[in-house]
Amino acid sequence: MDNYLPDSFAVVKDEDIKHRIKRIKTYDDYVMIYLDEEKIMISLEAYFRYNISKQKGLDDNLYDLLKKDESVLKAYRGCLRKISLKDMSEKMIGKYLDRYELDHDDKQDIIEKLKQYGFIDDEKYALSAANHYDGLNYSTKMVRLKLKEDGILEDIINKTVVSDYEKEYRKAMKVADKILSGSRNRSFKAKKQHVLNKLMNSGFTYEISKNVVDNTDISSENEIELLKKEYLKTKKRYERKYSDYQLREKVYSSLIAKGFNYEDIKKVVED
């Protein structure tokens, strides 16, 4: 069917006409063909290739070809709209095309056309995405992981993402400040461990995470005042179920688990 080319000068016989053309309207990058029962959007290439005119009708073979061309054209235009809103890699475009009922070759043709016109370029995408992730203070490890998820090849990632200790340290410091802003009701020890764990879970190395924790002002709040507040809350929570020795043990265990010093707990409880 794909090789079907109607004679440019022949008129389809009346008995073969299944779809009559009522009107044709051309636009900058596509043509709309109006039939008795529907309209079909086709590419300019298909319009000239099949020598479409109002005087000629469509037999079933040509109709099917134009419907297929319409599907490919709509998918291609959908990709352009998507790319206009957000940079996309080749893999991301491939996933987007899965929503269209196209065969593999048609999808690949669309991808190659987008690459040919520079609408998708994995190297440019990798550079732009890496800068974006750096702006969000993602660790180098996380940037590499995100690019890999976006379908960027390893050799492109290696050229794009270069390890830099000072840059990585500055990003980790900014992340640590953000973590601390949401960790006010924690003891000094618990804060340090919390920040260390969070940084490492974000992909920063232990060395950088430890250096950041050691060089960050974590003990800005009054540890004893915080301990008093936590003691009262913990005691109130447990005294509904426990009393005397059991209550004391539960309170101590809970406060120690939160990172408070045993001697400080003892002093606050006795007071």
- For residue 197, the domain's CATH number is 1.10.10
Greater pLDDT, 49 or 236: 49
CATH number assigned to the domain comprising residue 31? 1.10.10.10
Do 110 and 23 lie in one domain? The reply is yes
Instruction: Name the average pLDDT for the chain.
Output: 85
Q: Residue 7: its pLDDT value, please?
A: 44
Tell me the pLDDT band of 10, cut-offs 50, 70 and 90.
Answer: very low
Among the ranges given (2-11, 25-34, 88-97, 158-167), the one the predictor scored with the smallest mean pLDDT: 2-11
Residue 156: predicted pLDDT: 97
Segment of 13-17, 18-22, 96-100 carrying the highest mean pLDDT? 96-100
Lowest-confidence range among 157-161, 218-222, 244-248, 254-258?
A: 218-222
Q: What is the pLDDT of residues 178-225, one digit of tens each?
A: 888 766 666 777 788 889 999 999 999 999 999 999 887 765 457 677
Does residue 7 fall inside a structural domain?
Answer: no
**Region 102-126: what's the mean pLDDT?**
95
Q: Are residues 25 and 69 in the same domain?
A: yes
Q: How many CA atoms lie within 13 A of 23 on its CB side?
A: 6
Distance of CA 200 to the CA centre of its chain: 22
126 in a structural domain? yes
Instruction: Give the lowest-confidence range in 63-67, 131-135, 169-173, 254-258.
Output: 254-258
Per the domain annotation, does 5 fall within a domain? no
As a whole number of angstroms, the distance between CA 73 and CA 245 comes to 77
Q: Is residue 32 part of a domain?
A: yes
Do residues 184 and 97 share a domain?
Answer: no
User: Per the domain annotation, does 80 fall within a domain?
Assistant: yes
Out of 173, 192, 214, a domain closes at 214
Indicate the helix (H) or strand (E) that contains 56: none
Residue 1 has pLDDT above 50, yes or no: no
Share of the chain above pLDDT 70, in %: 88
Residues 172 and 151 in one domain: no
Q: In what order do the strands lie in the sheet with 21-26?
A: 21-26, 31-35, 39-42
Report residue 126's pLDDT band, with 50, 70 and 90 as the boundaries: very high
Residue ending a domain, among 82, 116, 150, is: 116
Are 22 and 36 contacting, i.e. CB atoms less than 8 angstroms apart? yes
**Collapsed DSSP state (helix, strand, coil) of residue 138:** coil
pLDDT at residue 17, as a whole number: 65
The pLDDT confidence band at residue 130, using thresholds 50, 70 and 90, is very high
Helices (H), the chain: 44-49, 60-85, 90-97, 104-116, 122-135, 140-149, 154-160, 165-181, 188-201, 206-214, 223-238, 244-257, 262-270
Q: Is residue 4 part of a domain?
A: no
Residue 192 confidence (pLDDT): 84
Please give the pLDDT value at position 252: 78
Domain count, the chain: 4
Within this chain, do residues 108 and 197 fall inside the same structural domain, yes or no? no
More confident residue, 4 or 236: 236
What one-character DSSP code corresponds to residue 186? S
Whether 250 and 193 map to the same domain: the answer is no
- CA angle 263/264/268 to nearest 5° reads 120
Model confidence band, residue 229 (pLDDT cutoffs 50, 70, 90): confident
Across 9-40, b (16+ Cβ under 10 Å) vs e yields eeebeeeeeebebeeeeeeeebbebebeeeeb
Rg (CA), the chain: 33
Residue 3 placed within a domain = no
- Tell me if 30 is assigned to some domain: yes
Residues 135 and 227 in one domain: no
Q: What mean pLDDT is predicted for residues 28-36?
A: 91
106 with 149, same domain: the answer is: no
- Please tell me the distance from the alpha carbon of residue 175 to that of residue 109, in angstroms, as a whole number: 43
Lowest mean pLDDT among 23-32, 113-122, 179-188: 179-188
**Do 142 and 179 sit in the same domain of this protein?**
no
- Rounded distance between C-alpha atoms, residue 243 and residue 136, angstroms: 49
Structural domain that includes position 131: 122-160
Same domain (yes/no): 24, 99:
yes
Are 90 and 18 members of one domain?
yes
**Which residue, among 55, 56, 27, has the nearest Cα to 41 in the 3D structure?**
27
- Tell whether 152 and 197 lie within a shared domain: no
Average pLDDT over residues 45-53: 89
